[in-house]
Amino acid sequence: MAMEYSGGGDPARSLALLWRTGAVRKGRSDLSVDRIVRTAIELADAEGIGALSMRRVAGQLGVGTMSLYTYVPGKAELLDVMLDTVYGETPREEPAGGGWRGRLEQVARENWELYHRHPWMLQVATGRAVLGPNVIAKYDHELGAVAGIGLTEVEMDSVLSLVLGHVEGAARRSVEAAQAERASGLTDEQWWQAHAPLFGKLMDPDRFPNAAKVGAAAGEAHGSAQNPAHAFEFGLQRILDGIEAFVRDRRPQ
């Protein structure tokens, strides 16, 4: 259950790496930035961010640990490149109609799946945005969902950020729950059933009337303390409804 994360290395170094500016390393061995990044992503996917260390990556590549530093300035910059790389995975096809709402919904689902494919993304604190080529391409593509519907440019950005923010939060809760399952060996459902009697005691209906009633009802309905997939869907529809009212307001006729 232990995790450690980091991100946002030296911006100049990161940018050079992201856009592959600067001399391409020739390499006596068959090492390269791309091989290192690919290996690091595979490792993080398979064993989590906690298992991602420079030593492990080097070991996986059959190479001395310090050799990585010839190609990559440090771990923080490596994480930046890893992020930009996986952001390149989201689909780019034009959706088959559906209007802005359908397209925003599709964007949300693509990101939901991306986060579940690479859960470690959510454990990397970026601080400042990672402005790699794939991140920009993704931003451009996703903005297309809200283009030409009567919003100003700033409003387009706000709307997209709102949806993406919701997806990130819901995915984080989903991923953390899954990791807790793996770490404890108990599914959320098993854990809930094991602890439900205790909660009954802790949630004294006299002191906590709302919590007692709602907690019990929600727990029983979801079969656990929370249901990330349901929270994602419920929140997405409410947010899209809110955006719909906003869009309607912007073009009154």
Partner DNA sequence: CGATGTCGCGAACGACGTTCGACGACCGAT
Partner DNA sequence: ATCGGTCGTCGAACGTCGTTCGCGACATCG
Q: List binders of DNA among 50-69 (CB under 7 A).
A: 51-56, 63-67, 69
| Distance from C-alpha of 174 to C-alpha of 160, rounded to nearest angstrom | 21
Site residues (CB under 8 A) for a copy of itself, limited to 5-34: 5-9, 11, 15, 19
- Dihedral sign, CA of 115, 14, 79, 89? positive
CB 49 within 8 A of CB 3: yes
Could you tell me where the DSSP H helices lie in 11-152? 11-18, 33-47, 54-61, 75-87, 99-117, 133-143
When CB distances are held under 5 to 8 angstroms depending on the partner's kind, the choice from DNA, a copy of itself, none that residue 201 binds is: none
Nearer to DNA, 64 or 165 (CB): 64
Residue 156 binding partner per list DNA, a copy of itself, none, with a CB distance cut-off of 5 to 8 Å that depends on partner kind: a copy of itself
Per CB under 8 A, which of residues 199..228 are in contact with a copy of itself? 199, 202-203, 207-215, 217-218, 221-222, 225-226
Q: What is the CA radius of gyration of the chain?
A: 22
Pick from 169, 143, 166: nearest CA to 239: 166
66/147 with CB nearer a copy of itself: 147
Question: Closest CB to a copy of itself among 38 and 178?
Answer: 178
The span of 31-39, 58-66, 90-98, 130-138 binding a copy of itself (CB under 8 A) equals 130-138
Map 120-134 to HEC letters.
HHHHCCCCCCCCCHH
> How far is C-alpha 129 from the geometric centre of its chain's CA atoms?
14
Q: Is 240 in the site for a copy of itself (CB under 8 A)?
A: yes
Q: Tell me whether residue 31 or residue 77 sits nearer to a copy of itself (CB atom).
A: 77
Look up residue 75 and give its two tokens: 């771990």
**Both structure tokens of 29:** 């061995």
Residue nearer to a copy of itself on the CB measure, 38 or 172:
172
Looking only at residues 76 through 135 of this chain, which bind DNA when binding is defined by CB under 7 A?
Answer: 76
How many CB atoms lie under 10 A from the CB of residue 3?
12
Residue 17 binding DNA, by CB under 7 A: no
Positions in 57-76 near a copy of itself (CB under 8 A):
76
Q: How far apart are CA 172 and CA 21, in angstroms?
A: 33
Looking at the chain, how many residues does it have? 253
Select the binding partner of residue 162 from DNA, a copy of itself, none (C-beta < 5 to 8 A, by kind). a copy of itself
**Shortest distance (Å) from residue 14 CB to DNA:** 12
Task: Give yes or no for a contact between 160 and 142, defined as CB atoms under 8 angstroms apart.
Answer: yes
List 54, 149, 180, 196, residue binding a copy of itself (CB under 8 A)? 180
* Nearer Cβ to a copy of itself (27/125): 125
